[in-house]
């Protein structure tokens, strides 16, 4: 039994979950709550809460499930999803709790390594040779951390191969990976390893993930293709929205960085955690609609379909640059209300559908408005109710639903 982990420094919540994930991956069988709590140096109640949050994370990002059977826990899902989850979890753990990685995960891999058949226990020189072939493919400033990560990963990979736990890639995914610049180099590095072909694709994906977003490389056909697709995307968005970007270069660069990783996520069914999605859908429907329409040709070209969350993040990029380029500020609109009921909510939605611009829409009772007027900096007051109008400086419109004065309202909001 390992020594009590309570002597180890306390970890942050993120560090605890990272360590917990590695415990689940390095175990040779299901783990009980008591075992996990002991290894993590926490009480069972804390570990139970960490497990619940970990379950939500791996479900959202990797389509994995944390199953509890007979008081024991196991992560379930396809092998590729397992690999992607461990890839991110191990990198995060090496950053947040490196001592725990060395004490538990590395130690467990070493112990399991010695149980491999001699033919699979590659000598250190052979592992070193493979590392020296892979490291030039990665950013030089992170060479040492990449070396540490890849050393652990190759040991894990060989253990999984021995257990016949290798990932499966469909034809579309294999084609995507075979076009990577790193693919021939990975093939060469492991030509004498007798690895399944799928593991070479898996290592190519891993190298791609380790590289992080990089500026477009003119010598890369894939980068040139994406750069051209981004130029067409910006042009289509401008045509659909009627909004121009005087300086497209910085916007194109940000979209290239984002789409480079977003395309990878979509090809390999990885989720993305976006707390902005509900706000984008509720408050920026016109911006989101223009983004979706502009993205259709790019999706067709790459034969993928972006998720709602991915599309929302792309819309946020366009919205932020639209405000920056045109020096637009959030406009404040007041909807006069009797009860903030269905009529008023329908009116709010229709107003938001009229413009790409950010709107701060507030509800105000008719009584309060007639007594005090609208809040300061209000640019438009609008109401679905018939009422006597007080003397008031901002435009005030009485409307019906659906809105009959769309162009007039849009002109007032975008002036």
Return the pLDDT at 89. 94
Return the pLDDT at 336. 83
Mean pLDDT of the 226-253 span: 90
Q: Is the pLDDT of residue 9 over 80?
A: no
Sequence-distant (≥ 6) Cβ neighbours of residue 199 within 8 angstroms: 157, 161, 166, 167, 190
In the numeric block, the tokens 């790019």 are attached to 298
Mean pLDDT of the 222-235 span: 94
- Count the neighbouring beta carbons within 10 Å of the beta carbon of residue 413: 17
Return the pLDDT at 5. 44
Pairing between strand 31-32 and 359-365? unpaired
The pTM score is 0.84
Q: Is the pLDDT of residue 1 over 60?
A: no
Return the pLDDT at 16. 92
Q: For residues 4 and 39, is the Cβ–Cβ distance under 8 A?
A: no
Return the pLDDT at 2. 44
Q: For residues 171 and 197, is the Cβ–Cβ distance under 8 A?
A: no
Mean pLDDT of the 223-246 span: 91
Percent over 90 (pLDDT), the chain: 49
Return the pLDDT at 401. 60
Return the pLDDT at 6. 44
Q: Which two tokens mark 388?
A: 């006597």
- Count the neighbouring beta carbons within 10 Å of the beta carbon of residue 298: 19
Return the pLDDT at 343. 76
CA-to-CA dists, residue 113 to 105, 147, 152, angstroms: 12, 19, 11
Return the pLDDT at 318. 92
Mean pLDDT of the 257-274 span: 92
pLDDT tens digits along 34-92: 989 988 888 999 999 999 999 999 999 999 999 888 778 999 999 999 999 999 999 99
> For 74, left (φ over 0), alpha (ψ -120 to 50), or beta?
beta
pLDDT tens digits along 165-198: 999 999 999 999 999 989 999 999 998 888 899 9
The H or E element that residue 75 is part of is strand 72-76
Return the pLDDT at 247. 80
pLDDT tens digits along 398-412: 666 655 566 777 777
Return the pLDDT at 4. 43
């Amino acid at each position: 039994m390992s020594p009590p982990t309570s002597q180890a420094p306390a970890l942050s919540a993120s560090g605890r979950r990272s360590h917990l994930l590695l415990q689940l991956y390095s175990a040779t069988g299901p783990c009980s709550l008591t075992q996990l709590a002991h290894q993590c140096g926490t009480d069972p109640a804390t570990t139970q809460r960490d497990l619940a949050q970990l379950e939500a994370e791996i479900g959202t990002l990797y389509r994995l499930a944390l199953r509890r059977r007979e008081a024991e826990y196991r992560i379930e899902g396809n092998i590729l999803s397992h690999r992607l989850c461990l890839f991110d979890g191990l990198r995060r753990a090496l950053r947040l709790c490196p001592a725990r990685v060395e004490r538990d995960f590395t130690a467990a891999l070493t112990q399991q390594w010695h149980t491999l058949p001699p033919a699979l226990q590659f000598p250190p020189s052979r592992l070193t040779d493979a590392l020296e072939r892979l490291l030039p493919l990665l950013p030089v400033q992170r060479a040492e951390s990449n070396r540490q990560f890849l050393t652990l990963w190759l040991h894990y990979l060989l253990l999984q191969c021995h257990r016949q736990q290798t990932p499966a890639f469909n034809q579309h995914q294999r084609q995507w990976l075979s076009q990577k610049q790193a693919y021939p180099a990975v093939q060469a590095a492991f030509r004498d390893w007798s690895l399944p072909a799928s593991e070479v694709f898996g290592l190519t994906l891993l190298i791609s993930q380790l590289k992080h977003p990089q500026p477009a490389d003119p010598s890369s056909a894939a980068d040139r293709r994406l750069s051209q697709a981004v130029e067409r995307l910006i042009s289509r968005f401008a045509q659909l929205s009627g909004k121009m970007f005087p300086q497209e270069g910085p916007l194109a660069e940000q979209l290239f960085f984002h789409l480079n990783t977003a395309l990878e996520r979509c090809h390999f069914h990885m989720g993305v955690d976006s707390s902005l999605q509900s706000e984008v859908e509720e408050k920026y429907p016109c911006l989101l609609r223009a983004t979706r329409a502009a993205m259709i040709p790019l999706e067709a070209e790459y034969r993928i379909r972006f998720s709602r969350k991915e599309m929302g993040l792309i819309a946020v990029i366009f919205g932020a640059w639209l405000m920056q380029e045109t020096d637009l500020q959030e406009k404040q609109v007041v909807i006069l209300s009797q009860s903030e009921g269905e009529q008023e909510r329908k009116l709010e939605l229709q107003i938001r559908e009229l413009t790409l611009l950010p709107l701060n829409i507030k509800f105000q009772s008719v009584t309060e408005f007639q007594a005090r007027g609208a809040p300061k900096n209000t640019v438009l007051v609008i109401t679905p109710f018939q009422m006597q109008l007080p003397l008031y400086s901002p435009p005030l419109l009485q409307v019906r639903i659906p809105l009959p004065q769309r162009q007039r309202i849009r002109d007032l909001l975008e002036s």
